[in-house]
Structures are given as C-alpha cells and as structure tokens.
Amino acid sequence: MARFQSLDRVGRIGLLVGAVSCSLSRADQPAATPPPPPAASTAGWGSVSGRVLFEGELSAKQVRGYREDVREYVPQTIDESRRGVVPRELSRVRNQRLIVDPATGGLENAFVYLRKLPAAIHPSGNDLPERPLEVVYRDREFWPRNLIVRVGQTVRLRTAKEVADFGVQFLRNPEHHPLVSVEKPYDWTATAREPLPVKVTSNLHRIAVSHWLVVDHPYAALTAADGSFRIENLPAGTQELVVWHETVGYVVRSLAVDVTPGEDRRIAPVYLTPERLR
C-alpha cells in the first residue's frame, strides 16, 4: 500500500513538473500580435450627400407671395383702419423664405438632419467649437438667416446699429426675449435638443425671421445655393434623415438611407413642388 502511495506522489509530481515546463516553453515564445483596429474613417463610418430641389415655375401663383419683397408698414390706429386709410410703408426687405437658384432649381436653406441621436458618434464630432456661433441682426434681417446649434453650444446674438428685442419660441429650451444693443450682445447656450427648427423673430420688426435647429449630434446640414448638402462620418447602417423647410415644414418626414463604411452615399434628389407651399 505504501508503495502505491509513493508511486501516486511521484505521478503527481511528474504532472506538476510537466505543466510548469509547458508554461515556461509557451512563455518563451513571442505573443501573437493582435490585428490593428480598423481606421475610424473607413471601418464604421460613411457620408451621405444629395440635393433638395424646387420643381415648378417660379412665376406660379402659389410661389408669388414667397418671392416678393416683404414690407413693413407704420402701425395704424383703429380709426384709421376703419376709415380705410392706406398704411404707409416703413421698410422693405428681400424675401428669403423661398430662395431658389434659377439655373439649377436648388433650394437653399433647407435643413437636413438625423432624426435621432445615433448609438455612436464619430470622434471628430464629439468636441464642440470653443467660439460661439454669431448671429448679427442688421437692417431687419438675420445674418446668417438659419442656423444649426449643438446642445451645449453658445449662440451670440448681436445687432449692428440698433436696439432689438427678440423672441425665441423654443419647445424644450427655456423661452427667451432678450434686449440686445450694439454695446450689449446676448449669449444663449442650448440645453436640450429641439425636434424641429424653432423660429426667431424681432419683437419690434416682425418681418425679420430666422430659424435655429438645436441638435444633440453633429449630423445636420443646411443646403447650399444649389440645393446641395453633405453629412460626413455617419455610423454605418440604415439611418433616418429629416428634410425640413420653413415654407412647408417637413419636405420629407422620414428618409431612410443606407450608409456604407468608407463611402459617400449619393441619394436621389428630394423635390419641393409649388402645390405644397402653405
């Protein structure tokens, strides 16, 4: 019995020595080099580009009111209105509600943006610009007219040569009615995303209109003069875009686009027709 126990101990010792020697031999071998991670620009990210076009005659009856100059009149008393006194024109500005390039049919200032916050954001879109976005109110117009703002980003509202009282009708951010002068600009920081562009007006001069879109991601664009847009570094897969314009609201409420890694997906043009103008 003692002899068997001795042999058993020897066997266990042999197994232990063998295991140690195997581990040492594996330690002497160089470790396998893991494959390099895929590049962020091509592995899971792609771009989408396209155009928003106006399809119809610019001289059509439905279009006329969007193309004529916007006029502001001197306020009338009730008595003057009852007597039919013709109001006196106070100012006039270029109508910017429907800006169409006659050569290409391109619709300018349409918002194209991702409807929801995606599961991942490209590293290039995580950092917000340090400098605030500047909007200048001058001669009863906003420059730029429309704006895309990220949550956490600051907008500096300035006026060029006059005191202005503004009204901003947000849905999710606190409502603001700042009084701005040349010496005293107004800084506003977005705290929540807005599902749609919000309207910004001058309380003193209602003909001045701007629209701000507040998003919680970097995937938004305004169309250029020829109606073109491009949104870069979108997560690969099916993404849902919104196309919005101030003359109709939704041009397209939901536009599904398949984003291919490392490629620029060119989608078919999106059209706005005169019949849809409201």
135 sits in the region (left: phi over 0; alpha: psi -120 to 50; else beta) called: beta
Q: Is residue 82 part of a domain?
A: no
Q: State pTM to two decimals.
A: 0.79
Last residue of a domain, one of 165, 198, 216: 216
CB contact set of 149 (below 8 Å; sequence gap of 6+): 133, 155, 190, 212, 213, 214, 215
Q: Which of 187, 216, 245 is at the close of a domain? A: 216
pLDDT block averages, 10 residues each, the chain of length 278: 41 39 39 43 82 92 86 78 81 88 96 95 89 91 95 93 80 82 92 93 86 96 98 96 97 96 96 90
Is residue 153 in some structural domain? yes
99 in the same domain as 180: no
Q: Nearest Cα to 255, choosing from 51, 113, 107? A: 113
Helix (H, G, I), strand (E, B) or coil at 22: helix
Looking at the structure, tell me whether residues 209 and 132 fall in a common domain. yes
Domain boundary at 191, 216, 241, which? 216
Confidence at residue 127, expressed as pLDDT on a 0 to 100 scale: 87
Q: Say yes or no: 151 and 268 in one domain.
A: no
Residue 144: give the domain boundaries.
122-216
**Residues 230 and 110 reside in one and the same domain:** yes
38-83 per-position pLDDT tens digit? 444 445 999 999 999 999 988 888 898 888 888 877 777 888 788 8
Longest CA–CA separation in the chain, Å: 129
pLDDT tens for each residue of 222-255: 999 999 999 999 999 999 999 999 999 999 999 9
Task: Say yes or no: 211 and 189 in one domain.
Answer: yes
Are 108 and 229 contained in the same domain? yes
**Which pLDDT belongs to residue 207?**
87
Model pLDDT, residue 43: 57
Are the CB atoms for 93 and 73 separated by under 8 Å? Answer: no
Q: Which pLDDT belongs to residue 18?
A: 43
What CATH number is given to the structural domain containing 133? 2.60.40.420
**How many separate domains does the chain show?**
2
Residue 105 — φ and ψ, nearest 5°?
A: 75, 10
Q: Is the same domain home to 67 and 183?
A: no
